[in-house]
Chain A
Amino acid sequence: MEFFTGILAGFAALAQPDILLYMVGGFLIGTFFGAVPGLTSVLAIALLLPLTYSLDVTAALVACASIFMAGMCSGSITATTINIPGAPASMMTALEGYPMQQRGEGAKALGHAALASMIGGSIGALLLILVAPLAADAALLIRTPGKFALIAFALVVIIISQRKSISKGLIATMLGLMVATVGIDVMQPLARFTFGTGVLVQGIDMMPLIIGAFAVSELLVQARNRSAHTVDLQQVEAPPIRRRDFIPPWSEVREIGLYRYLKSAVIGYLVGTLPGAGGSMAAFVSYAEAMRTSKHPERFGKGTPEGIAAAEGSNNAMCSGAFVPMLTFGIPGDPTTAIVLGVLVINGLQPGPQFMDSQLHLVAPMFAALMVSALVMVPLTLYLLGPYFLKIVSIRRDVLYSSIAMIALVGSYVATYSLFQMALALIFGIVAYFMRRQDYPTVCLLLGFVLGPSLEEYCRRALSISDGNPMIFLTSPDSVFFLGLTAVFFYFMVIRKPKATPLPS
């Protein structure tokens, strides 16, 4: 009961003008970053990270939550109108939205996307509120060997979910682990990999890595493009959109059915709890499932609202699912929750099994922001800004990227007043740029860096408990459970690879 009172207090906190401002501002920023091809909500949250040093933690978490939710649904705007997904999670939406746009039903497609995002996001937030305390209770049962096995499970799943190349995912993760070992050892007062310099003794901060990997590397990637605008409106044919066209017909909503909306939301939420999965996998799994079980599978790929509902409902529900392992186990499964973890760490907070109880007053407004963003902000933003979306996302690249560069670099300076941090951000940016050019996933780099210290600490602690006997990992039930789970995932994702679902071209 106390928990639900705390959650209600979180909703009340959103009514405070400053917190509300951060939620609305965050949502608008997330919408912009999610809709502009090349920008992502991860980049928006990464740019926000340095500011959280001088920001109230509740406001920062609320802003992060609304950016995350907005970024997930706004990718559908350019996916539908010009067939360029603003975010990877909207690729499945483009398959159905763009054919509808070509039939003159673009506004209706956006309306379906917003409705599904609204339902999926709200159900996801509700599941987070209901399930997170149970997950936290379960997390209390996990002892030191089990914690090691759980983090190892997360890292293995993150690596094997890199379908393009598992080896490259492994390399990126190991590089993250290598960077994480710089500084004082996790168990004894011994400096490692400082190369005789004092500046590395404290270790490498998460902030320059995030700014480098997600902001500076994007600046370098975009420097290869010399177009004047982010979207060239002269090359796309998009008829003007009227507000009244956004409202999807009730007959089509009924045809999609409540069950489809609920199922997509649950799929998205569950995918979100898996490490490394993300919005694109949630949308893909849900879309494939919708196509498999639909009464009209022949309509998929030709512009069916059912496909849009499946993809968008799922990727928005994923946002809330991704918070479960981060808040209850302290294990982020995707870059956004890793950055949110960074926000908490910067403020001296460490998520774990008791975090929800002890810091409910801080996370409850974030839960509320996820719910309100999905339920209110998604339809409201579409209604108010929908007709102008294409003009908004067609921005001058010189102004956009020079602004991002300024915020990223000055932000990395003001966080610690250190030019060294700025230089590190540039170095990580260059490294991430070359990695991205050759398909090495930077997400693995970040998650390896974030999870590395805990992996080492729990492994060494477990072995000290057992006087160096590694059998502790096979005799401890929680450890055996997670090692078994790792083996199951490895078997199904690597040895017996899932059959590729034939998607519409």
Chain B
Amino acid sequence: MSLQRSRDGRLLVPVALLLVTTLYFFEAWQLGPPMRNGNMTASFFPMAIAIIMYLAIAQVIWRILRSPPERETTDDHAATRRLGPLWVTLATAGYLLAFSTLGYFVSTTVYVFVLTLLYGEGFRGLPLKLIASVIITVAGYLLFEVVFRVRLPTLWSL
């Protein structure tokens, strides 16, 4: 089971790319024939790219299936480490959603504060993290709005 899981982990990228390539090839197919009157059309290159991609993915998958399984980490903190990127992704997605509605100051302060929790030692030194979040947000404002004169979104467009 562990061997299967390890292989599945390594197969994630090639299988995902296989699906993307298939979708891409289907779209390229819709563009029409690759050659017309002896000249390449808009679909020629995409089709060629997709075919090369299929061959390369097939080779990578073949190698993974033939290779010995990777040893799994038995570290106690492994789960925490695995989830770290997921939390950062979710925090960033939330930031993108909140950025234009809540404005730069509110959304950035909250986002930076959440990241300080994720990149350090959790909730240790909470007041310092809060102060750092405010300082980073103000520094960002000064950099973008004052130095580079770029308009950042504000809450209720104030």
Contact = CB atoms under 8 A, between A and B. Distances in A.
A426 B96 contact: yes
A425 to B, nearest CB: 9
Contact of A224 (B85, B108, B113, B148): B85
Given A178-B46, A181-B45, A224-B81, A426 B92 contact: yes
User: What bracket does the count of chain A residues touching chain B fall in?
Assistant: 35 or more
Interface in B110-158: 111-113, 115-122, 129, 132-133, 136-137, 139-140, 143-144, 148-152
Given A224-B81, A228-B121, A438 B42 contact: no
A193 B89 CA distance: 26
A195 interface: yes
B119 A223 contact: yes
Given A409-B95, A422-B99, A219 B112 contact: no
Main secondary structure of the interface of B (DSSP, over half): helix
A431 to B, nearest CB: 9
A135 interface: no
B3 interface: no
B65 interface: no
A333 B42 CA distance: 27
Q: Identify which of A181, A187, A402 gathers the most chain B CB atoms within 10 Å of its CB.
A: A402
B132 A405 contact: no
A20 interface: no
A405 B81 contact: no
Contacts, number: 179
A192 B85 CA distance: 32
Contact of B85 (A187, A223, A419): A223
Contacts of B53: 171, 174-175, 178
Q: Identify which of B12, B96, B111 gathers the most chain A CB atoms within 10 Å of its CB.
A: B96
Contacts of B106: none
A44 interface: no
A419 B99 contact: yes
A222 B63 CA distance: 28
B150 A181 contact: no
Interface stretch (A306-314, A381-389, A461-469): A461-469
Interface in A407-453: 407, 409-411, 413-414, 417, 419, 422-423, 426, 430, 433-435, 437-438, 440
Contacts of A467: 38-39
B98 to A, nearest CB: 11
Contact of A403 (B84, B92, B117, B136): B136
A245 interface: no
Interface in A30-64: 51, 54-55
Nearest to B39: A468
A271 interface: no
B77 A226 contact: yes
Contacts of B77: 226
7 contacts: A177-B49, A178-B46, A223-B118, A226-B121, A402-B112, A467-B38, A469-B38
Interface of A: 51, 54-55, 165, 167-168, 170-171, 174-175, 177-178, 181, 185, 187-188, 190, 192-193, 195, 216, 219-226, 228, 396-403, 405-407, 409-411, 413-414, 417, 419, 422-423, 426, 430, 433-435, 437-438, 440, 456, 459-460, 463-464, 467-469
What are the 10 tightest A-B residue pairs by CB atom distance, in nearest-first order? Answer: A468-B38, A398-B120, A223-B84, A402-B115, A398-B116, A220-B85, A414-B150, A185-B42, A224-B81, A223-B88
Interface of B: 10, 12-14, 16-17, 20-21, 24, 27-28, 31, 35, 37-40, 42, 44-46, 49-50, 52-53, 56-57, 59-60, 63, 77, 80-82, 84-85, 87-89, 92-93, 95-96, 99-100, 104, 108, 111-113, 115-122, 129, 132-133, 136-137, 139-140, 143-144, 148-152
